[in-house]
Amino acid sequence: MSMECKKGAPVGVFDSGVGGLTVVREIIRQLPDENIVYFGDTARVPYGSKSQKTVIRFSEQIIRFLKTKQVKAIVIACNTASALALDAVRDEFDVPILGVVVPGARAAVKATRNQKIGVVGTDATVRSGMYTKIIRELNPRIQVLEKACPLFVPLVEEGFKEHAVTQEIIEYYLESLRATDIDAMILGCTHYPLLRSRIRAYMGEDIQIVNPAYETALDLKTLLEEREMSSDGREASGSRYEFYVSDTAEKFRQFANTVMPFHVPETNVVNIESY
């Protein structure tokens, strides 16, 4: 593969569903010249209640699919898969792979003033303790409080963002964190930025809310520049952004249109189990 070809090659991004679009949105903002292939595993969402073995298997299948699109780098735009599968897939595949957990942890360490950080995420992400582990590696004095909020993902996926029930569930999950003196909170699931304004309103203005999507896009930029793989935007042949899912393409596309800053093109269904 020639270097020229490599520069114009797309970046692969995947998530359990629509949440990873918050990462794509940031990549487009920070890296407007890059082409992107997105895969949302809509048939098997949510990942947060699955075992590590299953999440690794799902991630391997998706990476094999993305490799058929000649991607030059892959972003795991899913905290659960980043926490549970990143190390396994990095050892297995010869393409640079980034997760969202390390960039998010790093940003929170920078943001906190009183060394107390809250993390909200799926059951699997919280059980893995990955955020606590990485934050402690960066600064052993920081106290980390992790809280699983498993119902946030289905609420987002079903478009219940503005619904009263969402407010109740936010209060139900976050009451205990609000009672602490954390001054920074990581949205440790890529679906959660879609609830950001509701979460912020409940938690109060004094807390810095960290969105790992933004930090991950910056990390991708650095990675591509270091490896001299950044696109110069010259090879824009065909669609710049392609979207694939494992089920319910039209439902995904309609939702994606509420998240993305442009009209989402036709979304294709892939039989991911065959990879």
Is residue 149 annotated as a catalytic residue, yes or no? no
Which residues does residue 188 pair with via DSSP β-bridges, in sequence order? 121
Q: Please indicate if the annotation marks 114 as binding a ligand.
A: no
47 has binding-site annotation: yes
The dihedral built from the CA positions of residue 41, 42, 45 and 50, taken in this order, carries a sign that is negative
d(CA 43, CA 117): 33
- Asked whether 100 and 211 are in contact (CB, 8 A), the reply is no
- Contact residues for 142 (Cβ-Cβ < 8 A; gap 6+): 109, 112, 115, 116, 117, 135, 136
Q: Exactly one of 62, 63, 73, 78 is catalytic; name it.
A: 78
15 is in an annotated binding site: yes
41 marked ligand binding residue: no
Find the catalytic residue in 124, 189, 195, 229.
189
To the question of whether residue 48 is assigned a binding role by annotation, the answer is yes
Is 122 within any annotated ligand binding site?
no
Pick from 5, 21, 14, 1: nearest CA to 156: 21
Look up 189 and say whether it is catalytic. yes
* C-alpha to C-alpha distance for 123 and 188, rounded to whole angstroms: 11
Residues 65-92 as b/e (b if ≥16 CB within 10 A, e otherwise) read bbeeeebbbbbbbbbbbbbbbbebbeee
Binding residues: 15-16, 47-48, 79-80, 190-191
Residues belonging to the active site: 78, 189
Binding residues for substrate: 15-16, 47-48, 79-80, 190-191
